[in-house]
């Protein structure tokens, strides 16, 4: 009997703004557009609410990748929440790179509520990116530290 190696299925957490990306994901679902079930969406009133600790906590709890999806630039309902989120994501990407964790495991996207096709495209592309990167190194690192 041959053994088949099971393909790695990444766990992806998506912090989404309810005015745009969350609504776009909802529209994609209503339109029966297929996107990977790997993506777990978390609804926020605005991506400006995304704290860096939320992102780190998602990784700590086992996410292999995290993305933040907010309104189109200059269309945030709270003026500049998406710009604040983008700045936090860009900073954290550098931190993750410096730690050897991989900044590519984190990304920021912008879309409107009508852009269900964009949400689907992002979900597919990001899932494939994380699949190529492999499982999160966090648990391996943690077990290495605890073993010392």
**Binding positions for ligand FES, rule: CB under 6 A:** 17, 19-20, 46-48, 70-71, 76-78, 81-82
**Can you point out the beta strands (E) in 30-74?**
39-44, 65-70
Nearer to ligand FES, 17 or 66 (CB): 17
- Please tell me the total number of residues recorded for the chain in this structure: 148
The C-alpha angle with vertex 12 and arms to 22 and 68, in degrees rounded to 5, equals: 45
Nearer to ligand FES, 10 or 58 (CB): 58
CB of 62 to ligand FES, least distance (A): 26
Instruction: Find the distance separating the first CA and the last CA of the chain, reported in whole Å.
Output: 40
Task: Identify the CA nearest to 10 among candidates 112, 124, 89, 120.
Answer: 124
CB of 69 to ligand FES, least distance (A): 8
Q: How far apart are CA 55 and CA 91, in angstroms?
A: 12
DSSP 77: T
CB of 84 to ligand FES, least distance (A): 9
Nearer to ligand FES, 31 or 75 (CB): 75
Nearer to ligand FES, 106 or 131 (CB): 106
CB of 68 to ligand FES, least distance (A): 9
């Amino acid at each position: 009997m041959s053994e088949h190696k099971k393909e790695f299925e990444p766990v992806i957490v998506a912090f989404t703004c309810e005015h745009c990306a969350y609504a776009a994901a909802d529209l994609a679902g209503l339109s029966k557009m297929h996107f990977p079930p790997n993506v777990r969406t978390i609804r926020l009133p605005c991506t400006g609410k995304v704290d860096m600790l939320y992102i780190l906590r998602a990784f700590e709890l086992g996410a292999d990748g995290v993305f933040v999806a907010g309104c189109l630039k200059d269309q945030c309902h709270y003026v500049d929440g998406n710009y604040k989120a983008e700045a936090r994501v860009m900073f954290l990407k550098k931190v993750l790179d410096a730690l050897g964790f991989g900044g590519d495991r984190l990304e920021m996207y912008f879309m409107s509520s009508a852009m269900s096709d964009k949400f689907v495209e992002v979900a597919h592309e990001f899932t494939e990116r994380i699949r190529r990167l492999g499982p999160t190194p966090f648990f391996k690192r943690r077990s290495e530290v605890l073993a010392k």
